[in-house]
Amino acid sequence: MLTPWGKNPITFIRQVVAVCLMPSLLDDPNIPTDVKDRARAVLKGCKGGSLGSYSDSAGIEIIRRHVADYIEKRDGFPSHWENIVLCAGASEGIRGTMKLMIRHENGIKPGVMIPIPQYPLYSATIAEFDLHQIGYYLNESTNWGLDISELERAYEEAKKVCTPKALCVINPGNPTGNVLTKENIQKIIQFAYEKKMFLFADEVYQDNVYAAGCEFHSFKKVISEMGTPYNQMELASFMSCSKGYMGECGLRGGYAEIINIDPAVKTMYLKSISAKLCPTTLGQAVMECVVNPPREGEPSYKQFMAEKTGVLQSLAQRAKMIAETFNSVPGMSCNIVQGAMYAFPQIKLPEKAKEAAKAAGQAPDVFYAFQLLENTGICIVPGSGFGQKPGTYHFRTTILPQPELLKTMLEKFREFHSNFVKQYE
Ligand X SMILES: Cc1ncc(COP(=O)(O)O)c(C=O)c1O
Residues found near ligand X in the complex (CB under 6 A): 89-91, 119, 121, 170, 174, 202, 204, 240, 242, 249, 254
Helices 219-226 and 182-194 sit at what angle, rounded to 10 degrees?
A: 70
User: In terms of DSSP bridges, do strands 132-137 and 109-116 run parallel, antiparallel, or are they unpaired?
Assistant: parallel
Spatial neighbors of 159 by CB under 8 A, at least 6 apart, are none
Q: Are 414 and 325 in contact (CB under 8 A)?
A: yes
Alpha helices in 160-295 (DSSP H): 182-194, 219-226, 263-274, 281-291
Q: What residue type is assigned to position 86 of the chain?
A: L
Q: Are 13 and 253 in contact (CB under 8 A)?
A: no
- CA dihedral sign, ordered 191, 195, 199, 205: negative
In terms of Cα–Cα distance, which of 365, 395, 321, 373 is closest to 117?
395
Dihedral (C-alpha) 372, 374, 379, 382: value to the nearest 10 degrees?
50
Side-by-side strand order, sheet with 109-116: 84-87, 254-259, 235-240, 198-202, 162-170, 109-116, 132-137
Q: Are 203 and 238 in contact (CB under 8 A)?
A: yes
CA dist., res. 372 & res. 206, Å (int): 32
Spatial neighbors of 288 by CB under 8 A, at least 6 apart, are 16, 38, 41, 42, 62, 63, 66
Spatial neighbors of 232 by CB under 8 A, at least 6 apart, are 260
Work out the burial of residue 196: count CB atoms within 10 Å of its CB; fewer than 13 is exposed, 13-18 middle, 19 or more buried. Answer: exposed
Residue 282: CB minimum distance to ligand X, A: 14
Q: Are 167 and 198 in contact (CB under 8 A)?
A: yes
CA dist., res. 320 & res. 214, Å (int): 14
3-state secondary structure of 324: helix
3-state secondary structure of 255: strand
Taking CB positions, which residue lies at the least distance from ligand X? 89
In terms of Cα–Cα distance, which of 98, 121, 91 is closest to 254?
91
